[in-house]
Homo-oligomer: A and B are copies of this chain.
Amino acid sequence: MERVDFNQYSSEALEQLRRGAFLTVKAGDKVNTMTIGWGSIGFIWGKPIFMVAVRYSRYTYELIDKAKEFTVSIPLKKDLKKELAYCGTKSGRDVNKFEECNLSLVDGQKLSTPIIGECEFHYECKVVYQQAMEPATVDEGIKDGYYPNNNYHVLYFGEIVDTYIWD
């Protein structure tokens, strides 16, 4: 495990994020992961921040809203396309994604939320701010494209408390 500055690999991380990464959450004894293709890395409120967006309808929403923390696991070398496709289309309410995809849960370094052991790059984040999207100020094109049924995202701003390479 090699710890790095939160911003050292931002370009590489965002590049892969667009193609797919794992957002993992744990509340009590319930753990789930989902595929995300959106997110941002930045510096806000004097803190390094990873922002993720989760729709109300998601099982992940139920968990993250209780847990107030999450991890983001990014495959930088291994090809996890099949696993990402599966975890982006199935719901953790119906299946155990970790068993189905042979994904291993590894304890987080700073959080009780685990990371996905098959990925090489990880952020551990504690939610310091969250906000449900406000329909009134969303661009019309985005509204038509992504929210025809008002299934909006909640934006979770997580303070990045650890960033590391896991080989």
Chain A residues within 8 Å of B, Cβ to Cβ:
7-11, 14-15, 17-18, 37-46, 49, 51, 53, 128-131, 133-134, 137-139, 141-142, 145-146
- In the assembled complex, how far is the CB of residue A85 from the closest CB belonging to chain B, in whole angstroms? 18
With A and B bound together, what is the CA distance between A134 and B154 in angstroms?
12
| Copies of chain A in the complex | 2
A39 nearest in chain B by CB position: B42
Q: Which residues of B contact A17 (CB under 8 A)?
A: 42-43
- In the assembled complex, how far is the CB of residue A51 from the closest CB belonging to chain B, in whole angstroms? 6
Majority secondary structure of chain A interface residues (helix, strand, loop or mixed)? mixed
Q: A130-B137, A142-B129 are in contact. Are A39 and B45 (CB under 8 A)?
A: no
Q: A7-B15, A39-B43, A44-B40 are in contact. Are A133 and B129 (CB under 8 A)?
A: yes
- State whether B7 touches A11 (Cβ < 8 A): yes
| B39, B45, B137: the one within 8 Å of A129 (CB) | B137
With A and B bound together, what is the CA distance between A114 and B158 in angstroms?
32
| B8, B10, B145: the one within 8 Å of A45 (CB) | B145
Q: Which residues of B contact A131 (CB under 8 A)?
A: 131, 133-134, 137
| B9, B14, B43, B128: the one within 8 Å of A18 (CB) | B43
Q: Which residues of B contact A137 (CB under 8 A)?
A: 129-131
With A and B bound together, what is the CA distance between A146 and B46 in angstroms?
9
- In the assembled complex, how far is the CB of residue A141 from the closest CB belonging to chain B, in whole angstroms? 8
- State whether B45 touches A40 (Cβ < 8 A): no
